[in-house]
Amino acid sequence: MLWPSYKDLLSSGNFRERIDKAYKIMESCTLCPRNCMVNRLKGEKGYCGAGDKLMVSSYGAHYGEESPLVGRGGSGTIFLTNCNLRCIFCQNYDISHMDRGNVKTPEELAEMMLSLESDGCHNINFVTPTHYMPHIIHGIKIAAEAGLSVPIVWNCGGYESEDMIKLLDSIVDIYMPDFKFWDKEISLKLVNADDYRERACESFREMHRQTGDLVVDEKGLAKKGMLVRHLVLPENMAGTKDVMTFIAKELSGNTYVNIMDQYRPCFESKKVKAMDRRPTGAEYDLAVKESHECGITRLDRKEDRLRWMV
Ligand code: SF4
């Protein structure tokens, strides 16, 4: 078995078939649970705002990610333009809602990946990739043929289609989805999707089936597995206890989880009551306590990030 897993797929000769299948889906787009069914190959746009071409807003080594991704060389992040979730509280709304970015070909995307690896990044981290899955897996094949050898990170919002995640089997090494909210009414208000929880649960099970719990090497760098992010919201709008119960019981108590405290009102968040303030320290501490009580044993610790700096 070759590693990273995309090398295995490359040597099996089945990569092209996977790419063709993904592009074909764009003819009547169901790449995500919005199921817009627009013909993106003809340039039509659906909820995410993406057309036929890949758009990238920026790329580079990133040191603010979780410590197993960062190490000394950083995580090689590639920020994609547009988004299938379009949260009303998005901190990157110019990228996700306002089309800020440049058109790139899969060949140019492959060049970005190779240059990030040669700069010393430990992985290639696609941020908000769902709506560009065909172009991205196309780019990964080109980069793999040219010798790419670091893990691929799929850094997504958690509103994914299980069938599309199946298309990524043996291409993605590390899944890093958000699990944003549990309550249907809340997800309807904040991301206009009352089925967020159901789609997240289905796709998380599939991600975990493919890659399992996060595996790190002797230096503590992530090689394979799943890493979940959960942003604490004011007045427990994220439903932390329910989310953590699902992760601990249906995936594994050993799932690597980052409980994040950086929510701040942004973009259109003030339209929803309670989203007009940051969570308090007590609300954050309660979320961490509840996660432990639900059986999560592997929480991201900020102090681990400092050890790479000494
Ligand atoms: S990827 Fe975009 S166009 Fe396709 S179903 Fe999702 S939101 Fe609609």
Half-sphere exposure of 143 (CA within 13 A, CB side): 29
Give the chain's mean pLDDT.
95
pLDDT at 308 over 60: no
Rounded to the nearest whole angstrom, what is the distance from the C-alpha of residue 39 to the centroid of ligand 1? Answer: 10
- CATH number of residue 33's parent domain: 3.20.20.70
Confidence of residue 305 (pLDDT cuts 50, 70, 90): low
Give the Cα separation of 25 and 147 in Å (integer).
28
46 lines ligand 1 (CB under 6 A): yes
Domain of residue 272 covers 5-309
What's residue 309's pLDDT? 58
Among 24, 29, 44, say which to mutate for ligand 1: greatest number of ligand atoms within 8 Å of CB: 29
Confidence of residue 3 (pLDDT cuts 50, 70, 90): confident
pLDDT at 147 over 80: yes
Does residue 177 have a cis bond before it (omega within 30 degrees)? no
pLDDT tens digit sequence for 8-57: 999 999 999 999 999 999 999 999 999 999 999 999 999 999 999 999 99
58 lines ligand 1 (CB under 6 A): no
Half-sphere exposure of 67 (CA within 13 A, CB side): 16
50 lines ligand 1 (CB under 6 A): yes
Residue 136, sorted as left (phi over 0), alpha (psi -120 to 50) or beta, turns out to be: alpha
User: Which ligand 1 atom sits nearest the alpha carbon of residue 32?
Assistant: 6
Rounded to the nearest whole angstrom, what is the distance from the C-alpha of residue 131 to the centroid of ligand 1? Answer: 6
User: Which ligand 1 atom sits nearest the alpha carbon of residue 45?
Assistant: 3
Q: What is the 3-state secondary structure (H, E, C) of 55-122?
A: EEEEEEEECCCCHHHHCCCCEEEEEECCCCCCCCCCCCHHHHCCCCCEEECHHHHHHHHHHHHHCCCC
Q: Report in angstroms the alpha-carbon separations of 142 from 5, 107, 271.
A: 15, 7, 44
Share of the chain above pLDDT 90, in %: 92
Nearest to 65 by CA among 137, 130, 123: 123
Confidence of residue 73 (pLDDT cuts 50, 70, 90): very high
Confidence of residue 157 (pLDDT cuts 50, 70, 90): very high
User: Which ligand 1 atom sits nearest the alpha carbon of residue 34?
Assistant: 5
What's residue 306's pLDDT? 59
225 lines ligand 1 (CB under 6 A): no
DSSP 41: G
Average pLDDT over residues 212-219: 96
Q: Tell me if 259 sits within 8 A of 210, measured CB to CB.
A: no
Give the Cα separation of 102 and 108 in Å (integer).
11
Tell me if residue 167 falls in helix, strand or coil.
helix
Neighbours of 247 (CB within 10 A): 24
What's residue 310's pLDDT? 53
Rounded to the nearest whole angstrom, what is the distance from the C-alpha of residue 281 to the centroid of ligand 1? Answer: 37
Among 27, 32, 55, 199, say which to mutate for ligand 1: greatest number of ligand atoms within 8 Å of CB: 32
Query: What does the radius of gyration of the chain's CA atoms come to, in whole angstroms?
Result: 18
User: Which ligand 1 atom sits nearest the alpha carbon of residue 37?
Assistant: 5
- The token duo for 26 is 């764009």
pLDDT at 139 over 90: yes
Q: How many domains does the chain have?
A: 1
Tell me if residue 259 falls in helix, strand or coil.
strand
Give the Cα separation of 268 and 208 in Å (integer).
33
